[in-house]
Amino acid sequence: MELVGEGKRLGAAALPGLPAHVARPGYDRSALRCGIVHLGLGAFARAHLAAVNDAALRAGAGPDWGICGVSLRQADTRDALAPQDGLYTLALRDADGGGAPRQRLAVIGCLRETLVAPEQPVAVLERIAAADTRIVSLTVTEKGYCHDPASGRLDLAHPDIAHDLAHPESPRSVIGFLAYGLQRRRAAGRAPLTVMSLDNLPANGRLLRALVLTFAARVDAGLAEWIASGCAFPCSMVDRIVPRTTDADRRDTAATLGVRDAWPVMAEPYLEWVVEDDFAAGRPDWTAGGARFVADAAPFETLKLRMVNGAHSALAYLSVMAGWATVDEAMAQPGMRRFLSELMRQEIEPTLPPLPGLDLAQYRHGLLQRFANPALRHQARQIAMDGSQKLPQRLLGTVRDRLAAQAPIPGLALAVAGWLYFLRGSDQAGRAYEIQDPMAEALARQHAQAEMAARQAGEGPAAMLAWAGAMAGLEPVFGDLGQDPRFVQALAQAAQSLRSLGVAGTLSAGYPPPPG
Ligand code: CS2
């Protein structure tokens, strides 16, 4: 990361001098207490939760709802933002009717404190226990939950979990931080609070509750009981595309602001947040920033994970293999838009629970427009990360529902085959890349075994069937799906097409074929 040039830096003193078109806090920041402790202070949280919370504060939510942001691994966010009084810029980018890029800038003010967990683990635990704290929220990505993706159970063999069970003063995992932070809270005689997951996992609140309770029960049965009976774990659906910030984004933001911002965040204007109205110790009125409170978030989560994230992952693996760097570049390739549209229309949409009032065709069109946004430059490689943690809820649940309904899965199989193909570690032009995935080693072993099985099976369809069967045997990801011959057969067919025609050839041939 480069610290963009010389000159004045964004901070409280710079606010009055910013160009008039840049929105700014407009509430009394110095009066803010940290009612929210947020674990995982990445770009997504700063462009989603914090942006919505900022809107609530501007609308008069009051001084209780500042955010203490916690980075779980690196110090870079704190190092960038602390010298700026926690202020940073959010740039919402898209294109106007004529296709010209445009952006709207706002300085977000609700981040009042930043902590770095490995440097100050006790400070983080104390923050969770503090009297002011009423919500602990999380964006730690799928792998941060330390669970087995196929079964949803806490992975007790995970090195961070094993470490945390032995080190109550210096946990590493979010599960450890939550359990020991709540233990301190209980010991201090403070009231239970809300623990709110904002990650792309189905029933994220219920999953998190089960993981925390499993861990807490090993620490102290009374603690587990206190958490189970008093803390709330609302489920939520979150949606906003937030690419990683680049140095070009930093330069561009500095040029517009007239001051340097070490870590602005870029996002699309679109935002969805549907959260269950189940809070143990109050909450701000986030509707001011576009949130919706509901009794049951499950249908919204399924819609979002299967349509947005399912299509995103399908596009990402095929694009990496074909050498298309960004999502908008991939969307401009012959066949890609059609493939994603048909994947959603024919295979994903029939599996979705009813959502009264939702026009699915419009949602699908809107989503394809969002992917085509030329101002985001969202890297396919970023989405391709951590596939072992993402595929179950993005694609495999849909596959299961389709198979249970005796329905065909050619598009879903192409998406999954894209991931398996991507795991070979080099694209179609032979350029090597690293597989970033907590299961990278197991995936590489499985891939090598599958290649061997294919060679032993000979040529053509038999070889592809052996290959697909071996890859689908990856139990932590596929569970029992790997035993279903219909799944293995569809995977083999899609993989065969990718191998013989390549990604571009497969898509322009109109894969998957129309039904009937
Ligand atoms: C993406 C998501 O990186 C990924 O895996 O699919 O981060 C996606 O951009 C968001 O979930 C959109 O809400």
Q: Which atom of ligand 1 is the closest one to the Cα of 239?
A: 13
Q: Which atom of ligand 1 is the closest one to the Cα of 383?
A: 3
Q: Which residues line ligand 1 (CB under 6 A)?
A: 200, 239-241, 308-309, 312, 382-383, 390
Average pLDDT over residues 22-27: 96
Average pLDDT over residues 443-463: 94
- Torsion, CA 311, CA 312, CA 317, CA 323, rounded to 10: 120
The CATH number of the structural domain formed by 24-294 is 3.40.50.720
Q: Indicate if the alpha-carbon torsion angle 140, 146, 148, 152 is positive or negative.
A: negative
CA 457, chain centre distance (Å): 39
Instruction: Report CA(501)–ligand 1 centroid distance (Å).
Output: 28
Q: Which CATH architecture has domain 298-508?
A: Orthogonal Bundle (1.10)
- Describe the crossing of helices 397-404 and 410-422 by its angle, rounded to 10 degrees: 150
Instruction: Report CA(189)–ligand 1 centroid distance (Å).
Output: 39
Mention every residue, 6+ apart, whose C-beta is less than 8 A from residue 327: 312, 315, 316, 319, 371, 373, 376, 378, 379, 380, 383
Confidence at residue 152, expressed as pLDDT on a 0 to 100 scale: 87
Q: What is the mean pLDDT of the chain?
A: 96
Which band of pLDDT confidence, cut at 50, 70 and 90, is reported for residue 5?
low
Nearest to 92 by CA among 77, 106, 108, 110: 106
Confidence at residue 510, expressed as pLDDT on a 0 to 100 scale: 84
> Ligand 1 test: best mutation among 383, 388, 395, most atoms within 8 Å of CB?
383
Alpha carbon distance 207, 173 (integer Å): 15
Instruction: Report CA(143)–ligand 1 centroid distance (Å).
Output: 14
pLDDT value at 6 more than 80: no
Q: Which atom of ligand 1 is the closest one to the Cα of 242?
A: 9
Strands 272-276 and 236-239: antiparallel
- Could you give the percent of the chain with pLDDT greater than 90? 95
Confidence at residue 3, expressed as pLDDT on a 0 to 100 scale: 52
> Ligand 1 test: best mutation among 312, 378, 385, most atoms within 8 Å of CB?
312
Confidence at residue 460, expressed as pLDDT on a 0 to 100 scale: 86
pLDDT value at 2 more than 80: no
In the chain, ranges of CATH 1.10.1040.10 domains: 298-508
Confidence at residue 501, expressed as pLDDT on a 0 to 100 scale: 95
pLDDT value at 79 more than 80: yes
pLDDT value at 275 more than 60: yes
Can you spell out the DSSP letters for 383-398? HHTTHHHHHIIIIIHH
Instruction: Report CA(200)–ligand 1 centroid distance (Å).
Output: 8
Higher pLDDT, 86 or 152: 86
pLDDT by residue (tens digit) across 467-506? 999 999 999 899 999 999 999 999 999 999 999 999 999 9
Instruction: Report CA(387)–ligand 1 centroid distance (Å).
Output: 12
Is 261 within 8 Å of 46 (Cβ atoms)? no
Instruction: Report CA(15)–ligand 1 centroid distance (Å).
Output: 31
pTM (predicted TM-score): 0.96
Confidence at residue 514, expressed as pLDDT on a 0 to 100 scale: 62
Confidence at residue 512, expressed as pLDDT on a 0 to 100 scale: 76
Peptide bond into 512 cis (omega under 30): yes
Residue nearest to atom 3 of ligand 1 (CA): 383
Q: Which atom of ligand 1 is the closest one to the Cα of 308?
A: 12
Q: Which atom of ligand 1 is the closest one to the Cα of 313?
A: 6
Residue nearest to atom 1 of ligand 1 (CA): 383
State the CB neighbour count (10 A cutoff) for residue 342: 19
pLDDT value at 204 more than 80: yes
Strand, coil or helix: what is 36? strand
Q: Which atom of ligand 1 is the closest one to the Cα of 390?
A: 5
C-alpha distances out from residue 168 to 172, 173, 192, Å: 10, 11, 19
Residue nearest to atom 8 of ligand 1 (CA): 241
Instruction: Report CA(363)–ligand 1 centroid distance (Å).
Output: 16
Instruction: Report CA(383)–ligand 1 centroid distance (Å).
Output: 7
- Residue 339 identity: F
Confidence at residue 151, expressed as pLDDT on a 0 to 100 scale: 82
Confidence at residue 516, expressed as pLDDT on a 0 to 100 scale: 45
Instruction: Report CA(484)–ligand 1 centroid distance (Å).
Output: 29
State the CB neighbour count (10 A cutoff) for residue 340: 27
In the chain, ranges of CATH 3.40.50.720 domains: 24-294
Average pLDDT over residues 301-329: 98
> Ligand 1 test: best mutation among 44, 93, 241, 386, most atoms within 8 Å of CB?
241
pLDDT by residue (tens digit) across 412-432? 999 999 999 999 999 999 999
Residue nearest to atom 13 of ligand 1 (CA): 239
Strand order in the sheet with 291-294: 236-239, 272-276, 291-294
Mention every residue, 6+ apart, whose C-beta is less than 8 A from residue 127: 34, 37, 68, 70, 115, 133, 181
Average pLDDT over residues 321-326: 98
Instruction: Report CA(326)–ligand 1 centroid distance (Å).
Output: 13
Instruction: Report CA(270)–ligand 1 centroid distance (Å).
Output: 13
Which band of pLDDT confidence, cut at 50, 70 and 90, is reported for residue 105?
very high
pLDDT value at 404 more than 50: yes
- Could you give the percent of the chain with pLDDT greater than 70? 98
pLDDT value at 459 more than 90: no
Average pLDDT over residues 86-102: 95
Instruction: Report CA(345)–ligand 1 centroid distance (Å).
Output: 20
Query: Residue 115's beta-bridge partner residues?
Result: 70
pLDDT by residue (tens digit) across 123-147? 999 999 999 999 999 999 999 999 9
Alpha carbon distance 246, 269 (integer Å): 18
Q: 């694009």: which residue's tokens?
A: 319
Alpha carbon distance 163, 340 (integer Å): 42
Helix (H) or strand (E) holding 167: none
Q: Which atom of ligand 1 is the closest one to the Cα of 238?
A: 13
